Amino acid sequence: MEKKVVLITGASSGIGYQTAELLAQKGYKVYGAARRTEKLSELKEFEVETVYLNITKEESLKAVVDHVMDKEKRIDILINNAGYGSLGAVEDVTVAEAKNQFEVNLFGLARLTQLVLPHMRAQKRGQIINMSSMGGRLTTYFGAWYHATKYALEAFSDALRMEVKSFGIDVILIEPGVIKTDWGIIAADHLAESAKGGSYEQIASQKAQGIKKQYTSNWGSSPSTVAKTILKSVNRRKPKARYLVGFGARELVFFKTLLPTRLFDIIIKNVS
């Protein structure tokens, strides 16, 4: 059998890197895309093809899809993994920063999906795996804009799943909990910086330290846990529509559905 061709974004670190490595080791033909191409170099030893991608630039998105299609003539699996978290009070985060987060976490992902879909329809098969978060099912303190992007991604993915089913294409959501990557450190730094000199500075600084503690402690799950879940989903003939994976994901989503909203607010606000 020919190797299935995978295009994965955000492959330079964390979940994306681990997933690209694992799928390549399991016999998939993997194209790992990211802006920081210098951080992709180590993937070459696993025979991952590395490509530059700026998820917010139309010409970059088109170039990546054209490159893979020119070399492989098909794309079997698209893993939309690129994204970031910019935390901060609604009052403090600029609208420009909020828009940028939507550009990366939703609109860039959506445009890449649009570019890949005609090829998958022609093949009459394909899988689109969107990296959401347990944060697409619940919200945390100072996370309004980040969670807005992930809630939007959940709705986008559910609608897309219905649209493309008749063409043999499946859409899968991966919803990680606390995963030990740089995501938490970057998000915490955004939170502390956004609050400087404002009404939320003291509490935001405390929460930023708590987030860093969470993401550097033994609580979190390894990115390889998510990579293994993605491998399981692409190997199954009928994968689930959603996979909650990693520390706290199933438990927190369960309690979100079970507890009164204001009680859940109190619990989440006082975590860390």
Place of tokens 């976490």: 105
Q: Are 166 and 183 in contact (CB under 8 A)?
A: no
- Alpha-carbon distance of 110 to 155, in angstroms, equals 12
In single-letter form, the type of residue at position 54 comes to N
Place of tokens 């204001």: 262
Catalytic member of 17, 28, 141, 146: 146
- Is 207 exposed, middle or buried, given 0-12, 13-18 or 19+ CB atoms closer than 10 A? buried
- Alpha-carbon distance of 50 to 111, in angstroms, equals 20
Is 146 known to be catalytic?
A: yes
Element (H, E) at 237: none
What are the start-end ranges of the H helices in 124-260?
Answer: 144-164, 183-195, 201-216, 223-235, 249-258
CB atoms within 10 A of CB 114: 11
Q: What is the DSSP letter of 3?
A: P
User: Among residues 67, 11, 78, 1, which one has the least CA distance to residue 39?
Assistant: 11
CB atoms within 10 A of CB 41: 10
- Could you give the residue numbers annotated as active site? 146
